Amino acid sequence: MLDERKLAVLRAVVEDFVNTNEPVGSRALADRHPLGVSPATIRNDMVALEEDGYIAQPHTSAGRVPTDKGYRLFVDRLSSVKPLSAAERRAIESFLGGAVDLDEIVARTVRLLAQLTRQVAIVQYPSLTRSSVQHVELVPLGGQRIMMVVITNTGRVEQRVIDGLGSASESVVDDLRAMLNRAIAGKHLGDVPDAVEDLPAQVAPEDRPVAVAVLSVLLESLVERREEKIVLAGTANLAAVDFAASLRDVLEALEENMVLIRLLGEAKDPSMLTVRIGAENFHEGLRSTSIVSADYGVGNQSLAKIGVVGPTRMDYPGTMGAVRAVARYVGQILAGQ
Amino acid sequence: MLDERKLAVLRAVVEDFVNTNEPVGSRALADRHPLGVSPATIRNDMVALEEDGYIAQPHTSAGRVPTDKGYRLFVDRLSSVKPLSAAERRAIESFLGGAVDLDEIVARTVRLLAQLTRQVAIVQYPSLTRSSVQHVELVPLGGQRIMMVVITNTGRVEQRVIDGLGSASESVVDDLRAMLNRAIAGKHLGDVPDAVEDLPAQVAPEDRPVAVAVLSVLLESLVERREEKIVLAGTANLAAVDFAASLRDVLEALEENMVLIRLLGEAKDPSMLTVRIGAENFHEGLRSTSIVSADYGVGNQSLAKIGVVGPTRMDYPGTMGAVRAVARYVGQILAGQ
DNA sequence: TCCTGGCACTCCAAGGTCTTTAGTGCTAAT
DNA sequence: ATTAGCACTAAAGACCTTGGAGTGCCAGGA
């Protein structure tokens, strides 16, 4: 049904359309690609490709444009991830190298990815749920308040103020802190609830309310609150593109963090590049965009995702190469920290 | 030179142009505003206003459009800040009320402001330099590393990993922590350098390298590093506007945090509303935008700024009202925390 | 059987002309 | 000082024409 040459034609259509942003005709194809056949033959192939839904005509007597299905086939079978140039790799290394803390690593990563791809980049903070507790700190503030700071092994810091405690003497706080750290330091966040379950029983009855309050805030902030932070960059790159949907819809979708998190999260194959094309994205406003995402992490452990959002008409090999490379470097940097 | 009526004409021109986004002519003005004179008279006034540079014609035989200078006069003398409706005030209160920590207060504030004004909102995190130290925590990590966490009285938390220390026994860290807190807890950040100057002399000679390393990181992260965090929301609202400069330029400017910080920082009169119109903004990409900003803080102390970026053709009274109201509420919320 | 050159056909995009329309500036009268 | 009237202007829209890129199909050739 689809012989070698028809696939070559589809590949050529995608490549040319990505370059020029104009429907590509049979003559132009024959000129620019060494297909070895005449425009008339290409036309016949195009009819077949169109019947199968891989390309479409904006109107009679215009050239052809790839459909979502066409891009999908291109990504799956007709292209390979394009490795970065040596210069680009060096740029990544030097740019990410100077970061001093997690915030800065993330901030630099997202800007770097936006710059490399000339599209919108998304970076998710290392997930809380997959990391483990490095240390818990309790700091008595003035009044009857305590600040709790939890540090994870990925360098993330969560803080929360606990209010409305009656008595909270220094020594009680000290005891609690020591007890907490004994119980959960090094533990996976998922295991924290079990680990602290019987702690209240171990404190003196009069201090139990304080302990309970602290624990409930701890659990709430670490486990129940699934909110995962993400950062964007490169939205200005959208202005250059003209979308089928309005630019406004796209920008709106990008501001809804929950949508983005869900999109990134729906990667098919963990630890691999995932590409979602056009209507494959469930969100209305992103119908005319594609998303290339990847996991990053330390060793085999995936911590979170990074990704790029651009028009369906994007340079898939290049974008995929950039995303994969940046994901790897971030993993290395995090491992080194 | 500019009598009452000419000012009334200017006010009417601004208001109509903001509403319709089309050059406004003398007939339309006479119809929609009770100026009590004929179009011909209005035309005469317009000539005077144009000679003085308050309005301009896109081309001969078009209506008039306010210039930056015209908007400036409008803001300074012809309009008053429009207070929010009761419903809006209630919305603010309930929306900001549910925030649990500083991050969430800021995130909610910026989204709220974007929604109220239908423009791009900017919120700056409470400045480090103006707050004081609540507590310093040192946490020994694995290896030879220490994590330092500084908590300020505004609820902000700065963390940093200190690496490459030779010896760092538990007791040394404990001593250092106690000493540090004695020296700087409660102190203004600006006073920290003086306060810690002679600390190294107080520790045992063999521990001095550790102390010096910790102090240098502390100073670096608190004082030298002036980077102030800001958050944006509502960029999608820009899509509806058509700018003289390209949308891309505006989006690019908005991604440069340092530019925004500088813009917010250049408020003329602290603790008051500041409006910068069009070319008054030094940044190229923001030549066709205006910025309304205000300080927020606790009591008389200004902690940081919030602001709104929109087209010069914006509803100044309404925007100013929203910015002022939100600034006040954020101050209250922070005070309550 | 597959490929190719040729040809008639289609549709869009660009350019040109004309008309309409909103608005102006000026002048003379009130 | 204000106004009515009028001639004038420039942009915006409607309409037409033209050119070109591209297609589909057919008949002939390898």
A255 with B239: Cβ contact below 8 A: no
What share of chain B has pLDDT > 90, as a percent?
A: 56
Q: What is the pLDDT of residues A151-197, one digit of tens each?
A: 887 778 888 888 766 666 778 888 888 899 899 988 888 888 899 88
| pLDDT confidence of residue B142 | 67
| pLDDT confidence of residue B150 | 87
Q: Angle at Cα A207 formed by Cα A204 and Cα A211, nearest 5°?
A: 110
Bases of strand C lying below 7 A from some protein CB:
3-6, 9-12, 22-27
DSSP state of A259: H
A134 with B149: Cβ contact below 8 A: no
Query: How much is the average pLDDT of B18-31?
Result: 94
| pLDDT confidence of residue B119 | 97
Classified as helix, coil or strand, A155 is coil
Please give, rounded to a whole number of angstroms, the shortest distance from the CA of A238 to a CA of chain B: 8
Place of tokens 């932070």: A229
Q: What is the pLDDT of residues B101-132, one digit of tens each?
A: 888 899 999 999 999 999 999 999 988 777 88
B139 with A141: Cβ contact below 8 A: no
Interface test with B, best of A147, A181, A243, A258 (most B CBs within 10 A): A147
- Is the pLDDT at A100 greater than 80, yes or no? no
CB proximity A240 to B under 8 Å: yes
What share of chain A has pLDDT > 90, as a percent?
A: 55
| pLDDT confidence of residue A112 | 97
DSSP state of A132: B
- Provide the CB-side half-sphere exposure for A332 (13 A, CA): 10
CB A110 within 8 A of CB A121: yes
Query: How much is the average pLDDT of A263-272?
Result: 75
Q: What is the pLDDT of residues A108-136, one digit of tens each?
A: 999 999 999 999 999 999 887 778 888 88
Bases of strand D lying below 7 A from some protein CB:
2-5, 8-11, 20-26
- Is the pLDDT at A84 greater than 60, yes or no? yes
CB proximity A234 to B under 8 Å: yes
Q: What is the pLDDT of residues A273-330, one digit of tens each?
A: 999 999 999 899 999 999 999 999 888 888 899 999 999 999 999 999 999 999 999 9
- Is the pLDDT at A22 greater than 60, yes or no? yes
Q: Which residue has the higher pLDDT, A273 or A206?
A: A273
Tokens for A174, please give them: 């000290």
- Is the pLDDT at A223 greater than 70, yes or no? no
Q: Angle at Cα B112 formed by Cα B106 and Cα A256, nearest 5°?
A: 85
| pLDDT confidence of residue A157 | 82
- For B:255-274, CB contacts with A below 8 A are 255
Long-range contacts for A69-76 (Cβ within 8 Å, ≥24 apart)? A70/A10, A70/A13, A70/A14, A71/A14, A71/A277, A71/A278, A71/A290, A71/A312, A71/A316, A72/A277, A72/A280, A73/A7, A73/A10, A74/A10, A74/A11, A74/A14, A74/A316, A75/A275, A75/A277, A75/A316
Q: What is the 3-state secondary structure (H, E, C) of B5-69?
A: HHHHHHHHHHHHHHHHCCCECHHHHHHHCCCCCCHHHHHHHHHHHHHCCCEECCCCCCCEEECHH
Tokens for B23, please give them: 């050059």
Residue A234: φ, ψ to 5°? 85, 15
What share of chain B has pLDDT > 70, as a percent?
A: 95
Strand extents, DSSP E, A82-214: 120-124, 133-140, 146-152, 157-162
What share of chain A has pLDDT > 70, as a percent?
A: 95
Range of weakest confidence among A77-86, A202-211, A219-228, B19-28: A219-228
Average predicted confidence (pLDDT) for chain A? 89
| pLDDT confidence of residue B161 | 81
B289-298 and B230-233 strand pairing: unpaired
| pLDDT confidence of residue B57 | 96
Nearest to B55 by CA among B73, B33, B35, B34: B73
Query: How much is the average pLDDT of B147-163?
Result: 82
DSSP state of A64: B
| pLDDT confidence of residue B336 | 73
Tokens for B156, please give them: 């902000």
Classified as helix, coil or strand, B311 is strand
Query: How much is the average pLDDT of B39-68?
Result: 95
Contacts of B247 in chain A (CB under 8 A): 239, 247
- Provide the CB-side half-sphere exposure for B82 (13 A, CA): 14
| pLDDT confidence of residue B252 | 94
- Provide the CB-side half-sphere exposure for B256 (13 A, CA): 13
Q: Which residue has the higher pLDDT, B80 or A221?
A: B80
Q: What is the pLDDT of residues A320-329, one digit of tens each?
A: 999 999 999 9
Q: What is the pLDDT of residues B169-208, one digit of tens each?
A: 778 888 888 899 899 988 888 888 899 888 888 888 888 8
